[in-house]
Amino acid sequence: AQSVTQLDSQVPVFEEAPVELRCNYSSSVSVYLFWYVQYPNQGLQLLLKYLSGSTLVKSINGFEAEFNKSQTSFHLRKPSVHISDTAEYFCAVSEGGNTGKLIFGQGTTLQVKP
Amino acid sequence: DTGVSQDPRHKITKRGQNVTFRCDPISEHNRLYWYRQTLGQGPEFLTYFQNEAQLEKSRLLSDRFSAERPKGSFSTLEIQRTEQGDSAMYLCASSLEGGRAQYFGPGTRLTVT
Protein backbone atom coordinates (compact mmCIF):
# COMPACT_ATOMS: atom_id res chain seq x y z
CA ALA A 1 0.00 0.00 0.00
CA GLN A 2 1.08 3.53 -0.63
CA SER A 3 2.15 5.81 2.18
CA VAL A 4 3.67 9.26 2.53
CA THR A 5 5.95 10.40 5.34
CA GLN A 6 6.69 14.02 6.03
CA LEU A 7 9.66 13.90 8.30
CA ASP A 8 9.16 17.21 10.09
CA SER A 9 5.91 18.25 11.73
CA GLN A 10 7.12 21.83 12.24
CA VAL A 11 9.87 23.83 10.56
CA PRO A 12 10.67 27.24 12.06
CA VAL A 13 12.81 29.50 9.89
CA PHE A 14 13.72 33.18 9.72
CA GLU A 15 12.53 35.35 6.87
CA GLU A 16 14.83 35.31 3.80
CA ALA A 17 16.48 32.06 4.94
CA PRO A 18 16.35 28.90 2.78
CA VAL A 19 14.05 26.04 3.72
CA GLU A 20 13.58 22.37 2.87
CA LEU A 21 10.46 20.38 3.71
CA ARG A 22 11.08 16.65 3.44
CA CYS A 23 8.77 14.07 1.92
CA ASN A 24 9.31 10.35 1.38
CA TYR A 25 6.84 7.94 -0.13
CA SER A 26 6.47 4.21 -0.53
CA SER A 27 4.93 2.61 -3.56
CA SER A 28 5.61 -0.41 -5.68
CA VAL A 29 4.44 1.25 -8.88
CA SER A 30 5.09 4.48 -10.70
CA VAL A 31 3.60 7.50 -9.01
CA TYR A 32 2.57 11.07 -9.45
CA LEU A 33 3.67 13.47 -6.71
CA PHE A 34 2.22 16.72 -5.43
CA TRP A 35 2.76 19.46 -2.91
CA TYR A 36 -0.25 21.36 -1.59
CA VAL A 37 -0.33 24.39 0.71
CA GLN A 38 -3.10 25.11 3.21
CA TYR A 39 -3.65 28.44 4.93
CA PRO A 40 -5.72 28.54 8.16
CA ASN A 41 -9.37 27.63 7.68
CA GLN A 42 -8.97 27.24 3.94
CA GLY A 43 -8.84 24.40 1.45
CA LEU A 44 -5.71 23.08 -0.19
CA GLN A 45 -3.98 24.93 -3.02
CA LEU A 46 -1.87 23.03 -5.53
CA LEU A 47 1.71 24.26 -5.25
CA LEU A 48 3.47 21.99 -7.75
CA LYS A 49 3.31 18.54 -9.28
CA TYR A 50 5.49 15.86 -10.81
CA LEU A 51 3.78 13.72 -13.43
CA SER A 52 6.63 12.81 -15.78
CA GLY A 53 9.62 14.32 -17.54
CA SER A 54 12.06 16.60 -15.75
CA THR A 55 12.54 15.54 -12.15
CA LEU A 56 12.88 19.17 -11.01
CA VAL A 57 9.58 21.04 -10.93
CA LYS A 58 9.04 24.67 -9.98
CA SER A 59 6.17 26.86 -8.84
CA ILE A 60 5.52 30.46 -9.79
CA ASN A 61 6.27 31.72 -6.28
CA GLY A 62 9.80 30.37 -5.96
CA PHE A 63 9.27 26.86 -4.57
CA GLU A 64 10.80 23.84 -6.25
CA ALA A 65 10.79 20.09 -5.65
CA GLU A 66 12.90 17.29 -7.02
CA PHE A 67 11.66 13.77 -7.65
CA ASN A 68 14.29 11.24 -6.61
CA LYS A 69 13.16 7.75 -7.59
CA SER A 70 16.06 5.90 -5.99
CA GLN A 71 15.47 7.58 -2.64
CA THR A 72 11.68 7.69 -3.09
CA SER A 73 11.69 11.34 -2.08
CA PHE A 74 10.08 14.57 -3.26
CA HIS A 75 11.51 17.30 -1.03
CA LEU A 76 10.26 20.87 -1.29
CA ARG A 77 12.74 23.76 -1.23
CA LYS A 78 12.75 27.52 -1.38
CA PRO A 79 15.96 29.58 -1.36
CA SER A 80 14.46 32.56 0.48
CA VAL A 81 11.18 32.46 2.39
CA HIS A 82 8.74 35.26 3.16
CA ILE A 83 6.41 35.79 6.09
CA SER A 84 3.52 35.04 3.71
CA ASP A 85 4.86 31.49 3.19
CA THR A 86 3.75 30.61 6.73
CA ALA A 87 1.26 27.77 6.22
CA GLU A 88 0.75 24.00 6.37
CA TYR A 89 2.34 22.06 3.53
CA PHE A 90 1.17 18.62 2.44
CA CYS A 91 2.95 16.13 0.25
CA ALA A 92 0.71 13.71 -1.64
CA VAL A 93 1.11 10.72 -3.95
CA SER A 94 -1.16 9.19 -6.53
CA GLU A 95 -0.48 5.85 -8.13
CA GLY A 96 -0.39 5.68 -11.90
CA GLY A 97 -3.66 3.76 -11.91
CA ASN A 98 -7.13 4.88 -12.75
CA THR A 99 -8.60 6.28 -9.52
CA GLY A 100 -6.32 9.26 -9.12
CA LYS A 101 -7.01 9.34 -5.39
CA LEU A 102 -4.39 11.12 -3.35
CA ILE A 103 -2.61 9.74 -0.32
CA PHE A 104 -1.39 12.59 1.90
CA GLY A 105 1.34 12.94 4.44
CA GLN A 106 0.55 14.38 7.85
CA GLY A 107 1.73 17.84 6.91
CA THR A 108 4.55 20.19 7.86
CA THR A 109 3.89 23.55 9.45
CA LEU A 110 6.25 26.15 8.07
CA GLN A 111 6.65 29.02 10.53
CA VAL A 112 8.48 32.00 9.05
CA LYS A 113 9.73 34.43 11.69
CA PRO A 114 10.65 38.08 11.06
CA ASP B 1 -13.10 29.53 -14.06
CA THR B 2 -14.69 30.01 -10.65
CA GLY B 3 -12.93 27.13 -8.92
CA VAL B 4 -14.44 24.49 -6.66
CA SER B 5 -17.08 25.75 -4.26
CA GLN B 6 -18.54 24.12 -1.17
CA ASP B 7 -21.57 24.93 0.91
CA PRO B 8 -21.93 25.49 3.78
CA ARG B 9 -18.50 26.56 5.00
CA HIS B 10 -19.36 25.75 8.60
CA LYS B 11 -21.98 23.47 10.12
CA ILE B 12 -22.69 22.89 13.80
CA THR B 13 -25.09 20.10 14.57
CA LYS B 14 -26.19 17.99 17.50
CA ARG B 15 -25.32 14.34 17.75
CA GLY B 16 -27.85 12.20 15.99
CA GLN B 17 -28.91 14.79 13.43
CA ASN B 18 -28.45 14.41 9.67
CA VAL B 19 -26.35 16.85 7.66
CA THR B 20 -25.80 17.38 3.94
CA PHE B 21 -22.95 19.16 2.23
CA ARG B 22 -22.75 20.35 -1.35
CA CYS B 23 -19.80 20.61 -3.73
CA ASP B 24 -19.75 22.34 -7.10
CA PRO B 25 -16.67 21.30 -9.10
CA ILE B 26 -14.87 23.18 -11.86
CA SER B 27 -17.33 22.96 -14.72
CA GLU B 28 -15.32 20.94 -17.24
CA HIS B 29 -13.95 18.45 -14.68
CA ASN B 30 -15.25 14.88 -14.93
CA ARG B 31 -13.88 13.64 -11.64
CA LEU B 32 -15.01 14.67 -8.20
CA TYR B 33 -13.42 13.54 -4.92
CA TRP B 34 -14.39 13.80 -1.28
CA TYR B 35 -11.80 13.82 1.51
CA ARG B 36 -12.00 14.21 5.28
CA GLN B 37 -9.39 16.09 7.30
CA THR B 38 -9.17 15.99 11.07
CA LEU B 39 -7.13 18.42 13.14
CA GLY B 40 -3.41 18.05 12.64
CA GLN B 41 -3.74 15.40 9.95
CA GLY B 42 -3.57 15.23 6.20
CA PRO B 43 -6.77 14.70 4.21
CA GLU B 44 -8.03 11.13 3.85
CA PHE B 45 -9.81 9.87 0.77
CA LEU B 46 -13.50 9.04 1.16
CA THR B 47 -14.93 8.49 -2.31
CA TYR B 48 -14.84 9.63 -5.91
CA PHE B 49 -17.05 10.01 -8.96
CA GLN B 50 -16.37 9.78 -12.66
CA ASN B 51 -19.22 11.84 -14.07
CA GLU B 52 -22.30 10.50 -12.21
CA ALA B 53 -20.82 7.10 -11.36
CA GLN B 54 -19.41 6.52 -7.89
CA LEU B 55 -16.40 4.33 -8.61
CA GLU B 56 -14.67 3.84 -5.28
CA LYS B 57 -15.49 4.20 -1.60
CA SER B 58 -13.02 4.10 1.26
CA ARG B 59 -13.54 1.86 4.27
CA LEU B 60 -13.73 5.15 6.19
CA LEU B 61 -17.11 5.72 4.56
CA SER B 62 -19.46 3.91 6.94
CA ASP B 63 -23.04 3.13 6.00
CA ARG B 64 -24.10 6.39 7.66
CA PHE B 65 -22.39 8.26 4.83
CA SER B 66 -23.81 8.56 1.34
CA ALA B 67 -22.65 10.59 -1.62
CA GLU B 68 -24.31 11.37 -4.91
CA ARG B 69 -23.48 13.23 -8.06
CA PRO B 70 -26.68 13.44 -10.10
CA LYS B 71 -26.17 14.35 -13.76
CA GLY B 72 -22.42 14.46 -13.23
CA SER B 73 -22.39 18.04 -12.02
CA PHE B 74 -22.55 19.01 -8.33
CA SER B 75 -22.22 16.42 -5.58
CA THR B 76 -23.74 16.01 -2.14
CA LEU B 77 -22.35 14.21 0.87
CA GLU B 78 -24.87 13.23 3.54
CA ILE B 79 -24.08 12.00 7.02
CA GLN B 80 -26.92 10.38 8.90
CA ARG B 81 -27.10 10.11 12.69
CA THR B 82 -23.99 12.19 13.19
CA GLU B 83 -21.50 11.24 15.90
CA GLN B 84 -18.88 13.37 17.62
CA GLY B 85 -16.20 11.47 15.72
CA ASP B 86 -17.61 12.89 12.49
CA SER B 87 -16.33 16.35 13.45
CA ALA B 88 -13.83 17.25 10.75
CA MET B 89 -13.21 19.35 7.67
CA TYR B 90 -14.84 17.80 4.59
CA LEU B 91 -12.99 18.69 1.43
CA CYS B 92 -14.13 18.34 -2.15
CA ALA B 93 -11.78 18.29 -5.13
CA SER B 94 -12.19 17.95 -8.87
CA SER B 95 -9.96 17.04 -11.78
CA LEU B 96 -9.98 16.31 -15.46
CA GLU B 97 -10.04 12.62 -16.28
CA GLY B 98 -6.42 11.56 -16.39
CA GLY B 99 -5.33 15.07 -15.47
CA ARG B 100 -4.10 13.92 -12.09
CA ALA B 101 -3.94 17.38 -10.53
CA GLN B 102 -6.87 17.86 -8.16
CA TYR B 103 -8.21 21.27 -7.28
CA PHE B 104 -9.76 21.67 -3.87
CA GLY B 105 -12.65 23.70 -2.55
CA PRO B 106 -12.51 25.68 0.71
CA GLY B 107 -14.03 22.83 2.70
CA THR B 108 -16.98 22.44 5.06
CA ARG B 109 -16.07 22.34 8.73
CA LEU B 110 -18.46 20.12 10.66
CA THR B 111 -18.75 20.31 14.43
CA VAL B 112 -20.93 17.71 16.16
CA THR B 113 -21.88 18.66 19.71
* DSSP string across B5-47: EEE-SEEEE-TT--EEEEEE--TT--EEEEEEE-TTS--EEEE
Contact list in B for residue A109 (CB cut-off 8 A) is none
User: Mean pLDDT across the stretch A78-86?
Assistant: 96
pLDDT at B72: 86
pLDDT at B100: 75
What is the C-alpha radius of gyration for chain A, rounded to an integer number of angstroms?
A: 14
DSSP E strands in A27-72: the ranges are 31-38, 44-50, 56-58, 64-68
C-alpha pair distances (Å), B86 with each of A34, A82, B112: 27, 36, 7
Cβ distance of A41 and B31 shorter than 8 Å? no
Q: What distance in Å separates residue A99's CA from the closest CA in chain B?
A: 8
Taking a C-beta distance cutoff of 8 angstroms, is the pair B94, B77 a contact? Answer: no
Q: What distance in Å separates residue B109's CA from the closest CA in chain A?
A: 9
Cβ distance of B42 and A46 shorter than 8 Å? no
Instruction: Specify the higher pLDDT residue, B34 or A1.
Output: B34
Please write the tens of the pLDDT for every residue from B16-70.
Answer: 999 999 999 999 899 999 999 998 899 999 999 999 999 999 988 889 999 999 9
Please write the tens of the pLDDT for every residue from A16-67.
Answer: 999 999 999 997 777 899 999 999 878 899 999 998 888 999 998 899 999 9
Please write the tens of the pLDDT for every residue from B75-109.
Answer: 999 999 999 999 999 999 999 876 678 999 999 99
- The residues on B that touch A, with CB distances below 8 Å, are 4, 6, 31, 33, 35, 40-45, 48, 55-56, 91, 93, 95, 98, 100-107, 109
**Helix, strand or coil, per DSSP, at residue B89:** strand
Whether the pLDDT of residue B5 is over 80: the answer is: yes
Rounded to an integer, what distance in angstroms lies between the CA atom of residue A8 and that of residue A41?
Answer: 21
Lowest-confidence segment of A8-12, A92-96, B8-12, B28-32 by average pLDDT: A92-96
pLDDT at A31: 84
pLDDT at B3: 93
Find the residue in A nearest to B88 (Cα). Answer: A41
pLDDT at A1: 72
Q: Which residues have C-beta within 8 Å of that of residue B1, sequence separation ≥ 6?
A: B26, B27
**Helix, strand or coil, per DSSP, at residue B52:** coil
Whether the pLDDT of residue B1 is over 60: the answer is: no
